[in-house]
Amino acid sequence: MNFPSKLIESAVDELAKLPGIGRKTALRLVLHLLKSEAEETTDLANALTKMRNDITYCQYCHNISDTEVCSICANPLRDQTALCVVSDIRDVIAIENTAQYKGLYHVLGGVISPIEGIGPSDLNITSLIERIPGSEVKEVILAISPTMEGDTTSFYITRKLRELGIKITTIARGVPVGGELEYTDEITLGRSIVERTSYNKL
């Protein structure tokens, strides 16, 4: 695609580096910005730059935060006995949005993946093991995606935590709400039957 302006071209090039945005979409976004008030572009550019430069990570849970200790870790009303281990910041947002969990978090920053060259030392596992002794944590909930890499990571963490003598749980596997039985894979369906719950618990 040829552009009549180098300015447009470089804006399109930069936008098209973002995941899931091709050059056609990038051009659409650029032309939208051109039609809108100049202020809108300035606000967008400032918000992105400020976010990227000023963001910090919580020194306890490694979640993104505006302060040294994030709002979850700093909140005394949260259940200090439960610690939910997730691989990504997005998982914290997803679990928080369920409003079903009131404990603390620990963000690993990925999963163990030998193919991508990610080993245990590249993840926030040491800080996880170090924060538990001396804390009130009684239960560690492993909320890691049940993929090959996720399961490896869960297994590794379980082995490391075993000697601390705390309860280790994992999120339930089963048929998703709204899911159809016939389209559920056999492993999920199998687990869902084995780990069936009493009807009045639902």
Residues in contact with its own copies by the rule CB under 8 A:
1-8, 10-11, 13-15, 17-21, 25, 27-34, 38, 40-55, 63-66, 70-72, 88-90, 92-93, 96-97
Contacts of 119 (CB under 8 A, 6+ apart): 112
Residue 112: CB atoms within 10 A of its CB come to: 25
Residue whose CB is less far from its own copies, 2 or 121: 2
Contacts of 55 (CB under 8 A, 6+ apart): 64, 65, 66
Residue whose CB is less far from its own copies, 63 or 153: 63
Written as one string, the DSSP assignment of 37-85 is: -HHHHHHHHHHHHHHHHH-EE-TTT--EESSSS-TTTT-TTS-TTEEEE
Rounded CA separation 144/170 (Å): 8
Tokens of 78: 């949260």
Burial class of residue 96 (count of CB atoms within 10 Å of its CB; 0-12, 13-18, 19+) = middle
Residue whose CB is less far from its own copies, 15 or 161: 15
Q: At residue 83, what is the residue type? A: L
Provide, rounded to whole angstroms, the least separation between the CB of residue 10 and its own copies: 5
Reduced to 3 states (helix: H, G, I; strand: E, B; else coil), residue 143 is coil
Provide, rounded to whole angstroms, the least separation between the CB of residue 93 and its own copies: 7
Provide, rounded to whole angstroms, the least separation between the CB of residue 26 and its own copies: 10
Provide, rounded to whole angstroms, the least separation between the CB of residue 181 and its own copies: 27
Provide, rounded to whole angstroms, the least separation between the CB of residue 178 and its own copies: 18
Provide, rounded to whole angstroms, the least separation between the CB of residue 99 and its own copies: 9
Residue whose CB is less far from its own copies, 42 or 158: 42
Q: Are strands 64-65 and 139-142 parallel, antiparallel or unpaired?
A: unpaired
Rounded CA separation 87/85 (Å): 7
Residue whose CB is less far from its own copies, 34 or 148: 34
Residue whose CB is less far from its own copies, 31 or 187: 31
